[in-house]
Amino acid sequence: MSNKSFGSYGELLARQYLQAQGYRILEENFKNKFGEIDLIAQDGKTICFVEVKTRQSLVQGQPYEAVNFWKIRKLSQMATMYLKYRYQSIEIPSRFDVVSIVLEKAKPPSIQHIKNAFDSTY
């Protein structure tokens, strides 16, 4: 499986997981000049900007550990632009979540959902 299809499969699992938790998916692979947000979902009245990280093993650590300073900064910029574009305001209740998925051979997928994983302070 290529890296792109592997990542797409992880995003599919994350989407299904969030929907099973009652989230409404608003956007998938939302792109702007800063990059891409994997999923934008609604949890009650809160808009959730979701970064999905998928790995085949824990050799390089937990998938969520790959969300570094630069990724947080980029996601924060993208979320601000999305809120301004979609809602004409940045005063909408929102948060950043990370869905961390490990797909080890011969094991069921391990899915960890980290709500409010970081603050938009960049």
Instruction: Give residue 5's pLDDT.
Output: 77
Band (111; pLDDT cuts 50, 70, 90)? very high
Instruction: Give residue 3's pLDDT.
Output: 66
CATH: 3.40.1350.10, 1.10.3720.10, 2.20.25.10, 1.20.58.220. Which one for 3-118? 3.40.1350.10
Global pTM exceeds 0.75: yes
Select from 42, 41, 44, 90 the least CA-distant residue to 52: 41
Contact between residue 76 and residue 120 where contact means Cβ atoms under 8 Å apart: yes
What are the φ and ψ backbone dihedral angles of 77, each rounded to 5 degrees? -65, -45
Dig out the tokens for 80 from the structure.
């601000």
Domains of the chain, by residue range, sit at: 3-118
Of 66 and 15, the structure prediction assigns the larger pLDDT to: 15
